[in-house]
Structure 1
Amino acid sequence: MADLHQARAAKERLRSEIAERPGVSGIGVTPDADGYAVQVNVQRRNDAAALPESVDGVRVQVRVIGPITAHSRPTRLRAV
């Protein structure tokens, strides 16, 4: 069971290890069944293959979110 402080420390350690890894879209802390875990968002299932199951005793959860794309802002506002 990891508390919030432990999960944040594990997140920063993992962030430095995977900073330039392709396919990783983001990393954060998420509630877990018995405390907190580190969540890593990846674009494809294959991108999660080399990620650890835990960091410093904190569980790592992987979430496949797909590619991130930018959308243009609408140029017209519609009346409500």
Structure 2
Amino acid sequence: MSDLAEARAAKERLAAELGDRVGVIGVGLERVPDGYCVRVNVRDEATGEQVPATVDGVEVRVAVVGTIRIEG
């Protein structure tokens, strides 16, 4: 697995690559038992299928979270 610095660099690269792609809710880091990975939250499975499995050797995990609404 990747250390924190590697995961941060991969996160920045992937976030720039995904840009403002419709269906991508957020890109972050996730702690796993042996290090860190990049986590991408998406609206639906179709969007998740467009996300690469790794970036610069760092694992990418996709979570389908649906639409996020902020009510005020």
TM bucket, shorter chain? over 0.9
Q: Which runs of 4+ in 1 moved over 6 A?
A: none
Q: Judge which range, 32-41 or 8-17, deviates more.
A: 32-41
Question: SS in structure 2 opposite 1:31?
Answer: strand
Task: State the Cα distance separating 1:45 from its structure 2 match.
Answer: 1.1
RMSD: 0.8
Larger RCO, structures 1/2 (Cα 8 Å, 6+ apart): 2
| Residue matched to 2:42 | 42
- Which TM-score applies when normalising by structure 1? 0.86
Specify every segment of 5 or more residues in structure 2 that has no aligned partner in the other structure, as ranges. none
- Which TM-score applies when normalising by structure 2? 0.95
Larger of the two Rg values belongs to structure: 1
Q: In structure 1, how many angstroms separate the alpha carbons of the residues matched to 2:64 and 2:34?
A: 22
Which amino acid letter does the alignment assign opposite residue 38 of structure 1?
Answer: V
Q: Percent identity?
A: 47
Corresponding pairs, count: 72
Specify every segment of 5 or more residues in structure 1 that has no aligned partner in the other structure, as ranges. 73-80
